[in-house]
Amino acid sequence: MKRILENIESQFEMFQILNEKGEVVNEDAMPDLSDEDLKEIMRRMVYTRILDQRSIALNRQGRLGFYAPTAGQEASQLGSHFALEKEDFILPGYRDVPQLIWHGLPLYQAFLFSRGHFHGNQMPEGVNAVSPQIIIGAQITQAAGVGLGYKKRGQEAVAITYTGDGGASQGDFYEGINFAGAFGAQTIFVVQNNQFAISVPVEQQSAARTIAQKAVAAGIEGIQVDGMDVLAVYAATKEARERAISGDGPTLIETMTYRYGPHTMAGDDPTRYRTEETDNEWEAKDPIVRFRTFLENKGLWSEEEENEVIDKAKEEVKAAIKKADEQPKQKVTDLMDIMYEELPAFLKEQREEYQEKESK
């Protein structure tokens, strides 16, 4: 039995295109991206890093509520998103706000989501997504259903869902990938293995050497990817999308990545469970530094271009938080009105009471 397990695990070696020095180590796997595509990916990663820094500062100032830092995971998040089309449907976890923003969610609404304002959860027309899921892994079964819906309608689109390594320990994870496999749902499951479920290291979450190998039990494709390598993540996601819409079933993608900051800004202290040595090891793999080196060697990127993106991000964050501040305060009657198409009788009286209080 041990030999069988070893044989299975050996099939899930990490897929990589760029090494830590920004060198191409897998020429055959290089995706067909134009120079402008490569630069756009870099712009998005730099912008998102600045957005993360500003969001942390805003949280500390009391201007944002719940916030889960994203620095270190840009390649995993944005490389996968760049492989999607507008019609694809995103079911994110709470750390996956960047994908929603690049999918079309206005930045000021992302800030409202952080504050718990209902308008932050209202996706604009044409943005195929749901608001970030706070319950760990609950979006995974939903993604299987959305992917099955696409298949039944004959649409060339996929559902993609994101969770962390901790999410892969949830029952919803196994139910979701099993359902998707059984019915051939057009779904991509991305597990961003950032090594810790809050403070619990991945080694204590599962005896499996990889999360990707869990795909075997569900009868679906699985791949482990270097989550600090944006080109590898893009290539794996693009292939998974093509596989899904061609009728060859769903894919489980495990991205090996790292979050530099705390789990959330709600009091988590990563120094209590992570060592400085581990932090330094992963910072040497930084996705932005790696991709910057690759682009500079191709003559496609400069410090001037990067500074332009940084300045743009700072200005847009400033404008977005101002717009969020200007939004009407959330009222109890708002929640009642958006919860039901027709208000139940037992709530109508309560609504009248609250409306009277709110008018004073």
81 is catalytic: no
**Considering the chain, what percentage of its residues have pLDDT values greater than 90?**
89
DSSP output for 3-25: HHHHHHHTT-PPB-SB-TTS-BS
Give pLDDT, residue 123: 97
- The domain limits of the chain are 2-328, 330-360
The per-residue pLDDT for 44 is 98
Number of H helices, E strands in the chain: 14, 7
Q: Which of 263, 274, 290, 292 is catalytic?
A: 263
**pLDDT digits over 251-274, tens only?**
999 999 999 999 999 989 999 999
Helices 74-82, 287-297: axis angle to 10 degrees equals: 60
Q: What is the pLDDT of residues 280-309, one digit of tens each?
A: 999 999 999 999 999 999 999 999 999 999
Catalytic one of 259, 274, 290, 292: 259
d(Cα 274, Cα 198) in Å, to the nearest integer? 11
According to the model, what pLDDT value does residue 185 have?
98
CA distance 265 to 67: 6
pLDDT of residue 349: 87
Closest CA to 229 of 291, 319, 310: 291
pLDDT band at 339, cuts 50/70/90?
confident
Residue 356: predicted pLDDT: 85
Whether 263 is catalytic is yes
- Is-catalytic flag, 103? no
Given this model, what pLDDT does residue 359 score?
80
33, HSE (Cβ side, Cα atoms, 13 Å): 22
CA distance 31 to 12: 20
User: What distance in Å separates the CA atoms of residue 175 and residue 185, rounded to the nearest whole number?
Assistant: 13
Superfamily of domain 2-328: Thiamin diphosphate (ThDP)-binding fold, Pyr/PP domains (3.40.50.970)
DSSP characters over 26-52:
-GGG-----HHHHHHHHHHHHHHHHHH
Q: Which residues of 93-114 are buried (b: 16+ CB within 10 A; e: fewer)?
A: bbbbbbbbbbbebbbbbbbbbb
Q: Which of 63, 115, 209, 273 is catalytic?
A: 273
- The pLDDT of residue 1 is 57
Q: Does 218 have pLDDT greater than 80?
A: yes
